[in-house]
Chain A
Amino acid sequence: MDIYRAHVLVCGGTGCSSSGSATLIDRFNEKIAENHLDKEVKVIRTGCFGLCEAGPVVIVYPDGTFYSRVKPEDVDEIVTEHLLKGRKVEHLVYVDHATRQQDAEKKLEDITFYKHQHRIALRNCGVIDPENIDEYLAMDGYRALEKALTQMTREEVIDEILKSGLRGRGGGGFPTGLKWKFTYQSQADQKYVACNADEGDPGAFMDRSILEGDPHAIIEAMAIAGYAIGASQGYIYVRAEYPIAVKRLSIAIDQAREYGLLGKNIFETGFDFDLNIRLGAGAFVCGEETALMHSIEGKRGEPTARPPFPAVKGLFGKPTMLNNVETYANVAQIILHGADWYASMGTEKSKGTKVFALGGKINNTGLVEIPMGTPLRTIIYDIGGGCPNGKKFKAVQTGGPSGGCLPESLLDTPVDYDNLIAAGSMMGSGGMIVMDEDNCMVDIARFYLDFIVDESCGKCAPCRIGTKRMKEILDRIVEGKGEEGDIEKLEQLAQTIKNTALCGLGQTAPNPVLSTLKFFRDEYEAHIKEKRCPAHHCRSLLQYKIDPAKCKGCTACARICPAEAISGTVKQPHVIDVQKCLKCGSCMEKCRFGAISRV
């Protein structure tokens, strides 16, 4: 057995990988060998740490030193100073957003970003090597499967999930235990378990991170589910755009088979279960359960009307239980620690924790897991660190294209399924996009609608034609061609689509428009009536102007302007020719005196 005195954990999630963590790992191994430390120090590629903003992230144990934004050239210093001589490299240590300090002694859980979090679904992400089943086993992995198979009846497993109050984390929030129970009660010669890893909401990436950081947790949970409902075959439907997740999942499935944790006669209990991966081509609609199952069957990914529900007639016409990745990530923990433990967290109707992907105009972009009932304000300010550059917070979008935008006045809403719906948005899969004063809400609504128009499968008319018409109206509004009555037309279309679309995605498609209309109606009215964009965002409705009092005549703006729209002599105030101006904003960025503004 090899014991290493120090472990260097390098984040290998998609975020850090794209900022170069693979190069870091190579460089670490190279430098460690060069300094003859390869018998003492081990480099481990882990899953996502959550603090993607500070990536690539490197943690050195046993000290627990948290290095952020590590560049390949920093590696030499960490190796020769920290690993060889035991001196922490202070200037590379993560700067806490709340204290603005670099503290090399600070443990991970004391950092403000992690302090408010409670990690259940993400508990192994960034802690273990996802490509090594032994490490998952050491974190009590597959103990829950062992417990379920050897000590619990199928009814007891379902009962435990039911009592825990776990609800579907994919967005719908349907009680997971009930789904298990219905599928259990269906009579059939063959049943299936399926996992929805077709994470399509713009801005959400928790499912990807779980698959990348802790793939065995999903395999274990699906095997437990298979036992509970009486299925011997499972499918994981994951989008092909997640290559790292697919790769780690395949490795994990192979390892589990090798250890006999998947396959025939698991733990000699007579229970057979195996898993296969199905790749999705990235259509948003395939996240809808009926469309997803058609896609697994090899058919066109289009939704069909329910009932019959999948619990009765799903994959290949057999009873099927479909859960989301994050839902599964909680299952083993519930079996292991009991329903009461899980139900002790969260609010009355929403138990446990929820993972959110923070993005947009926020300091700490990343993945956070918090107990249900945490106020939005805590997530955005205490964990997320607020809006960058001192800008004013305007709204937060939750629930992706099916959700809505919530304004400042609703920031104290405790986050759970029911509160978010009452506030006019929804939980969705947990994307949380923050907007500041520079974001135009009409344009945001247009962005989401644009997404829907693109992704609508086209099967039903309300979604195919209705959303297109809505988008045309919004296009007109942001171009300054809005007409009196447009808002009413939008509302009428939205209601019709909501009432008549075939699947959940169509029914919720108008939500971004409805919620922005509810909270930011004045912005719509300003666009239509005054031909003005209050956020100075919509190009057709703004002009760039030079303040003659502030302009020093440095000519920087005139030189950068691609349209040669700026004229003036040296040391004299310059002027922008509105006719020529392309509104690209280069001059404003270039001006050192703040003389150029958008009006």
Chain B
Amino acid sequence: MKSLAELEAIRKATISKINVRKENEAETVRVVVGMATCGIAAGARPVMLSFMDEISKRQLNHVTVSQTGCIGMCRLEPMVDVIVPGHEKVTYVHVKPEMVPRIVAEHIVNGRPVDEYTIGAAE
């Protein structure tokens, strides 16, 4: 037997699990990882996994992680786009798993892109 509060907790937890199935959600933040051959070779998979890990740890219901192909700057892989609705897309380059917690904490949670990791800083 579950109490009303327990049911509410199940609702909240499940929403973050099935959030990925909602389309065109205005408030959804998208994390897009470049996962073409160049990206995977440069280590994009552990990066993507640490994003998913971090997001589930913080129970961020409104974030989806998806993949994309090669955008042509293979030397900068692994590349990750963070798209916050209403803001310009921010592209992070040479992303390593250990950089992920900071990107999630500062950019996705607090809304301040980590400038030193971005493509602007690298170029």
A contacts, CB < 8 Å to B: 1-7, 9, 39-40, 61-64, 84-87, 107-109, 127-128, 134-135, 137-138, 140, 142, 146, 150, 259-261, 263, 267-268
Question: Could you tell me if A2 and B10 are in contact, using CB atoms closer than 8 angstroms?
Answer: no
Q: Which residues of chain A have C-beta atoms less than 8 A from B30's C-beta? A: 62
Question: Could you tell me if A5 and B52 are in contact, using CB atoms closer than 8 angstroms?
Answer: yes
A9 to B68, CA, bound (A): 20
The one of A61, A85, A86, A137 that contacts B14, using a Cβ cutoff of 8 Å: A137
Sorting the interface of chain B by its residue count into under 10, 10 to 19, 20 to 34 or 35 or more gives 20 to 34
Question: Could you tell me if B55 and A3 are in contact, using CB atoms closer than 8 angstroms?
Answer: yes
Question: Could you tell me if A142 and B7 are in contact, using CB atoms closer than 8 angstroms?
Answer: yes
Q: Which residues of chain A have C-beta atoms less than 8 A from B37's C-beta? A: 85
B contacts, CB < 8 Å to A: 1-4, 7, 10-11, 13-18, 20-21, 23-24, 30, 35-37, 48-49, 52, 55-56, 59, 64-69
A40 to B7, CA, bound (A): 26
A154 to B7, CA, bound (A): 23
The one of B3, B21, B59 that contacts A61, using a Cβ cutoff of 8 Å: B21
Decide yes or no: A1 and B7 within 8 Å by CB, A9-B21, A40-B49, A107-B23 being known contacts. Answer: no
A3 to B68, CA, bound (A): 19
Decide yes or no: A3 and B16 within 8 Å by CB, A134-B10, A146-B4, A259-B1 being known contacts. Answer: yes
Question: Could you tell me if B23 and A137 are in contact, using CB atoms closer than 8 angstroms?
Answer: no
The one of B17, B52, B56, B66 that contacts A86, using a Cβ cutoff of 8 Å: B66
Q: Which residues of chain A have C-beta atoms less than 8 A from B67's C-beta? A: 5, 85-86
Decide yes or no: A1 and B13 within 8 Å by CB, A39-B49, A259-B2 being known contacts. Answer: yes
Question: Could you tell me if A135 and B14 are in contact, using CB atoms closer than 8 angstroms?
Answer: yes
Closest B residue to A46 by beta carbon equals: B21
The one of A1, A62, A146, A263 that contacts B66, using a Cβ cutoff of 8 Å: A62
Q: Which residues of chain A have C-beta atoms less than 8 A from B15's C-beta? A: 138
Min CB–CB distance A252 → chain B (angstroms): 15
Closest B residue to A127 by beta carbon equals: B21
Q: Which residues of chain A have C-beta atoms less than 8 A from B16's C-beta? A: 1, 3
Decide yes or no: A87 and B69 within 8 Å by CB, A1-B56, A107-B23, A108-B23 being known contacts. Answer: yes
Question: Could you tell me if A267 and B52 are in contact, using CB atoms closer than 8 angstroms?
Answer: no
A138 to B18, CA, bound (A): 8
Q: Which residues of chain B have C-beta atoms less than 8 A from A5's C-beta? A: 20, 48, 52, 64-67
Question: Could you tell me if B7 and A85 are in contact, using CB atoms closer than 8 angstroms?
Answer: no
Question: Could you tell me if B23 and A138 are in contact, using CB atoms closer than 8 angstroms?
Answer: no
Question: Could you tell me if A85 and B69 are in contact, using CB atoms closer than 8 angstroms?
Answer: yes
A109 to B24, CA, bound (A): 10
4 interchain residue pairs of minimum CB distance: A86-B67, A260-B1, A138-B14, A3-B56
Decide yes or no: A1 and B17 within 8 Å by CB, A107-B23, A137-B10 being known contacts. Answer: yes
Question: Could you tell me if A1 and B59 are in contact, using CB atoms closer than 8 angstroms?
Answer: yes
Q: Which residues of chain A have C-beta atoms less than 8 A from B48's C-beta? A: 5, 40
